[in-house]
């Protein structure tokens, strides 16, 4: 049985070749993923991430980018293993969002270059 | 264990869940190029079972014409794929595919 992620050899039309660029958060996501799997933690493995996003369902899988998939899978596993709960995560996101808003408000406006 | 030069067929089990062998290669016959090493089975790690045992992995070479029925490239084109031992079974003959 072929899973929705198993697309080798399937018709895909013309392949668009774009220069590869990374957003900062994408690099951070990989750093966090690596740290969670290191010898001191051994919390999540890349094979588990694959298993997780292969179980998301085709619709969600296709709607997410490569790194979005990996982050979603990481969150899914951290919750599955009882390491981080969804509530803790939401609380932390709210905290950081507020902090960033405060920071932007207090920063002096950039002066226009002459 | 398989040895270099041995013809092997990729199994096509009715296995669900996470697997590392893509569907396009299942049922295809190739030749063992080299033994890659032993690794914990990613199909077990995927479910948090990290206790082993380690399994053999082989680099297998296939003729592109054997893999894709409508392949339009050169007769000499090859596909190299690393496959875990439990996905392989011996196939007839042990000469290198011409």
pLDDT of residue B97: 47
Hey, what's the torsion of the CAs at B58, B61, B66, B71, to 10 degrees? Answer: 130
B42 contact residues in A (CB cutoff 8 A): 47, 50
A8 contact residues in B (CB cutoff 8 A): 22-24
pLDDT of residue A112: 73
Please state the ipTM of this predicted complex: 0.85
Domains identified in chain A and CATH numbers: 25-106 (1.10.472.20)
**For the segment A57-80, what is each residue's pLDDT rounded down to a tens digit?**
999 999 999 999 999 999 999 999
Select the more confidently predicted residue: A111 or A28.
Answer: A28
Which residue in B has a C-alpha nearest to residue A52's C-alpha?
Answer: B46
**For the segment B15-65, what is each residue's pLDDT rounded down to a tens digit?**
889 999 999 999 999 999 999 999 999 999 999 999 999 999 999 999 999
Distances (CA, A) of A17 to A14, A105, B15, B88: 9, 40, 34, 35
Contacting B with CB below 8 Å, chain A residues are 1-2, 6, 8-9, 42, 45, 47-48, 50-51, 54, 81
| CB pair distance less than 8 Å for A50 and B46 | yes
Q: Which two tokens stand for residue B59?
A: 């680099």
Helix (H) or strand (E) holding B44: helix B42-45
| CB pair distance less than 8 Å for B24 and A8 | yes
Q: Identify which of B25, B59, B40, B83 has the alpha carbon closest to the alpha carbon of residue A48.
A: B40
**For the segment A27-58, what is each residue's pLDDT rounded down to a tens digit?**
999 999 999 999 999 999 999 999 999 999 99
Q: What is the residue extent of each domain of chain B?
A: 7-90
CATH of B7-90, one of 2.30.30.50, 3.40.190.10, 3.50.50.60, 3.30.300.30: 2.30.30.50
Which residues, other chains included, contact B24 with Cβ-Cβ below 8 Å and sequence gap of 6+? A8, A9, B67
**Helix ranges (DSSP H) in chain A:** 24-37, 46-53, 58-63, 66-80, 86-106
């Amino acid at each position: 049985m072929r899973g929705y992620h198993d697309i080798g050899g399937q018709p895909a039309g013309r392949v668009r070749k774009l220069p590869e660029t990374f957003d900062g958060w994408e690099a951070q996501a990989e750093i966090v993923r690596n740290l969670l799997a290191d010898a001191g933690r051994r919390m999540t493995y890349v094979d588990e991430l694959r298993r997780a996003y292969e179980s998301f369902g085709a619709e969600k899988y296709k709607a997410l980018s490569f790194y979005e998939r990996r982050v979603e899978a990481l969150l899914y596993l951290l919750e599955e293993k009882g390491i981080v709960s969804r509530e803790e995560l939401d609380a932390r996101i709210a905290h950081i969002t507020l902090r960033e808003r405060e920071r932007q408000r207090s920063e002096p406006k950039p002066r226009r270059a002459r | 264990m398989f040895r270099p030069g041995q013809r092997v067929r990729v199994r096509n089990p009715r296995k669900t869940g996470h697997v590392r062998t893509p569907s396009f290669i299942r049922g295809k016959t190739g030749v063992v190029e080299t033994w890659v090493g032993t690794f914990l089975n990613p199909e077990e790690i995927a479910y948090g079972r990290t206790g082993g045992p380690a399994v053999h992995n082989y680099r297998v070479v296939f003729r592109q014409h054997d893999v894709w029925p409508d392949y339009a490239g050169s007769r000499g084109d090859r596909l190299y794929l690393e496959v875990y031992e439990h996905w392989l079974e011996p196939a007839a003959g042990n000469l290198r595919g011409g």
